[in-house]
Amino acid sequence: MTRHFLRDDDLSPAEQHEVLSLAASLKQAPYDSHSLAGPRTVATIYDKPTLRTQASFAAGIAELGGHPMMVDGSLAGIGKRESVADVARVLGRQAALIVWRTYAQSALDEMAEHAGVPVINALTDEFHPCQLLADLLTIRERKGELTGLTVAFVGDGACNMGNSWLLAGATAGLHVRIAAPEGHQPEEQYVARAREIGDRTGATVDVMTDPKAAVDGADVVVTDTWVSMGKEEEAAERLAAFSDYTVTADLMGLAAPEAIVLHCLPAYRGKEIDSDVLDGPQSVVWDEAENRRHVQKAIITWLLGDTDTGEVPL
Ligand code: NVA
Residue nearest to atom 8 of ligand 1 (CA): 228
140 is catalytic: no
Q: Which residues does ligand 1 sit against, CB inside 6 Å?
A: 128, 159-161, 224-225, 228-229, 264
pLDDT at 306: 66
The per-residue pLDDT for range 15-26, each reduced to its tens digit, is 999 999 999 999
pLDDT at 312: 40
Contact indicator for 227, 199 with CB cutoff of 8 Å: no
Instruction: Choose which residue among 130, 166, 229 to substitute to test ligand 1 binding: the one with the highest number of ligand atoms within 8 A of its C-beta.
Output: 229
Q: CB neighbours (10 Å) of residue 65?
A: 15
pTM of the model as a whole: 0.96
Q: Which among 270, 228, 265 has a CA at the least distance from the CA of 248?
A: 270
Ligand 1 atom closest to the Cα of residue 229 is: 8
Q: Average pLDDT, whole number, for the chain?
A: 96
pLDDT at 29: 97
Element (DSSP H or E) covering residue 44: strand 41-46
Q: Where are the alpha helices (DSSP H) in the chain?
A: 13-28, 52-63, 73-76, 84-94, 105-115, 129-143, 160-171, 188-201, 211-215, 235-241, 249-252, 275-278, 285-303
pLDDT at 281: 98
Instruction: Choose which residue among 124, 153, 160 to substitute to test ligand 1 binding: the one with the highest number of ligand atoms within 8 A of its C-beta.
Output: 160
pLDDT at 310: 45
Counting Cβ atoms within 10 Å, is residue 3 exposed (0-12), middle (13-18) or buried (19+)? middle
Residue 52 CA to ligand 1 center (angstroms) comes to: 11
Give me the mean pLDDT over the 128-133 stretch: 98
Give the full edge-to-edge strand order of the sheet including 220-223.
204-208, 175-179, 150-154, 220-223, 260-263
224 is catalytic: yes
What gap in Å lies between CA 227 and CA 266, rounded to an integer?
Answer: 11
pLDDT at 307: 61
Residue 225 CA to ligand 1 center (angstroms) comes to: 7
pLDDT category at 309 given cuts 50, 70, 90 is: very low
pLDDT at 1: 87
pLDDT at 26: 98
Question: Is residue 314 over pLDDT 60?
Answer: no
Which of 156, 175, 264, 293 is flagged as catalytic? 264
pLDDT at 223: 98
What gap in Å lies between CA 115 and CA 273, rounded to an integer?
Answer: 40
Question: Is residue 308 over pLDDT 80?
Answer: no
Question: Is residue 220 over pLDDT 80?
Answer: yes
The per-residue pLDDT for range 226-261, each reduced to its tens digit, is 999 999 999 999 999 999 999 999 999 999 999 999
Give me the mean pLDDT over the 138-167 stretch: 98
